[in-house]
Amino acid sequence: MSAFVRLATLLAFAHVILAAPAASDCTGTISSLDDVADAVKCTTVNINSFTVPAGKTFDLKLADGTTVNMQGDVTFAVKNWEGPLFQVSGKSITFNGNGHTFDGNGPSYWDGQGGNGGVTKPAPMMKIKISGTYSNVKVLNSPARVYSVSNPAALTMSKLTIDDSAGDAPNSKSGGKAAGHNTDGFDCSTTDLTIEDSTIHNQDDCLAINKGSNIVFQRNTCIGGHGISVGSISSDVTVSDITIKDNTIQNNDQALRIKTKASAKDSTVSGITYSGNTGTGLRKFGVLIDQSYPDTLGTPGTGVKLSDVNFIGDTNNLSVNSDAMRVAVNCGSGSCTGTWDWSALKVTGGKAGPITNFSGIKNFSQ
């Protein structure tokens, strides 16, 4: 046998030895973090009620094809640290929440500052790094941002509840402001993601798409926050093929927003489609497209090329408060391009907002 053949044989043998063992067709049960290592060796994992110790991540590294069943609520003890509180990874996963709750103990952290100051808060609370399905899970009282989603292949998230409604009220540390802050529902930098049939009550973006493609956000209800956002968009980012349809947005700052950083360079946003969305009680804007972030309607940047933003299909019906703007578009010079079809947008109430540096919007007037 030649030296080359012997070496190849040894390398192949070493690969077999070093490869992770295949998961067994068994059922693992988790009633504390001590159970996790053994449970994830099985392709069925059941989660009972328990409390995760302070400063620890409940981390599930699942074998491909695993089914997870929540059979009780999980509570996270309190510590001022960066988190996350929960993380799950794996491919072709079926995650069944069965209506059970991950409780982040948000009131113990909330100070009206979120991630901008005050005490350190675990953020995001939940890191989702699976493909497959993730359904029927409730998150209660997140310390700050809720879900960070970075799926390795197609993922559908459905029938979820995010309930940070208690954060609407001030507390002794929030200076008269809402105690909950930066409680974004879903922060997504990914591809091939569908989020549907869910309810989000929070104090920040219901959805924030920072980069990625082929993302569908449909039949969701967003209450109390900052609406459905593409952005904020930073440098060297591509966003494309985003569908926002049949959502209900209630008592948010705005219903639908695209926000790109004034300082961003070499980024593109294209193929954004809105259809059949309904917004009521909108406090500041119906639709806001702004290239001056973090300012609002400030001096826009020109480093993000924005095209093919359309309101088509079923009518998007938005109702803004009397002191709000119906639509505001603030483009950098030459950075918004093409023709945008807004024939399926109807906005009532309030006043007309400015349309700056762009004349390509068709089939719509304020």
Transcribe 290-348 into DSSP letters: EEEETSSSSS--SSEEEEEEEE-SS-EEEEE-TTSEEEEEE--TTTEES-EE-TTEEEE
Token pair recorded at residue 160: 């979820």
Spatial CA neighbour of 223 closest among 208, 209, 203, 243? 203
Q: 243, 218 in Cβ contact below 8 A?
A: yes
What does DSSP say about strands 138-140 and 155-158: parallel, antiparallel, or unpaired? Answer: unpaired
Helix (H, G, I), strand (E, B) or coil at 114: helix
184 is catalytic: no
Q: How far is CA 116 from the centre of its chain?
A: 19
Catalytic residue among 103, 163, 184, 204: 204
Q: 111, 173 in Cβ contact below 8 A?
A: yes
Q: 331, 357 in Cβ contact below 8 A?
A: yes
CA distance 121 to 81: 6
CA distance 320 to 353: 12
In total, the chain counts a number of residues equal to: 366
Residue 104: how many other CB atoms lie within 10 Å? 29
204 is catalytic: yes
Helix (H, G, I), strand (E, B) or coil at 8: helix
Catalytic residue among 100, 181, 201, 226: 226
- Cα angle at 358 between 253 and 278, to 5 degrees? 35
Rounded to 5 degrees, φ, ψ at 127 are -105, 120
Q: List Cβ neighbours of 42 (8 Å cut-off, separation of 6 or more).
A: 23, 24, 25, 26, 27, 28, 63, 66
Helix (H, G, I), strand (E, B) or coil at 3: helix
Active site residues: 204, 226
